[in-house]
């Protein structure tokens, strides 16, 4: 049985893209959908998956700077779970290796019980508020 996620620690490494087939395929085949799903969960439902997807796509296609948008959600996810900025700060992680960064962020939400594929509403009834953990 897998160990429960530890507060303040990532549940997977930056380049562990292939450890979760779903997040890997979603991120590598349709990056905009992965970013939209992350945005929806990280923004606690304030940004829909479609909005996040369209904003990232527009920034990426028109300016080549989708990383500016996706790094904001990596930072939100890090804040939710008190995670360190490793291997570097969010902006550089998303600009230098966006697929690894987005995939890691997607996996982190999924590993902590907030599956981005279900959306914020699909996760809300069964998860604790972000950043709150029950101790035994």
Spell out the per-residue pLDDT of the chain, length 136, in tens.
Answer: 355 677 789 999 898 888 888 888 999 999 999 999 999 999 999 999 999 999 999 999 999 999 999 999 999 999 999 999 988 899 999 999 999 999 999 999 999 999 999 999 887 655 455 555 555 5
Q: Has residue 84 been placed in a domain?
A: yes
Pair of tokens at residue 68: 């500016």
Rounded to a whole number of angstroms, the CA Rg of the chain reads 14
Q: How many domains does the chain have?
A: 1
Q: Has residue 125 been placed in a domain?
A: no
Let me know if 63 is exposed, middle or buried by CB neighbors in 10 A (0-12, 13-18, 19+): exposed
Q: Has residue 126 been placed in a domain?
A: no
Pair of tokens at residue 48: 């829909």
**Are 108 and 115 contacting, i.e. CB atoms less than 8 angstroms apart?**
no
Q: Has residue 132 been placed in a domain?
A: no
* Structural domain for 36, as ranges: 17-118
């Amino acid at each position: 049985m897998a160990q429960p996620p530890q507060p303040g620690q990532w549940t997977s490494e930056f380049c562990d893209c292939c450890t979760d087939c779903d997040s890997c395929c979603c991120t590598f085949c349709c990056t905009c959908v992965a970013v939209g799903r992350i945005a929806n969960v990280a923004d606690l439902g304030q940004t829909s998956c479609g909005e996040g997807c369209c904003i990232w796509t527009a920034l990426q296609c028109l300016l080549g700077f989708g990383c500016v948008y996706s790094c904001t959600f990596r930072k939100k996810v890090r804040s939710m779970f008190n995670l360190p900025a490793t291997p570097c700060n969010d902006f550089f992680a998303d600009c230098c290796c966006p697929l690894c960064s987005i995939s890691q962020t997607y996996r982190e939400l999924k590993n902590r019980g907030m599956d981005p594929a279900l959306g914020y509403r699909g996760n809300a009834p069964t998860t604790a508020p972000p950043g709150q953990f029950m101790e035994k």
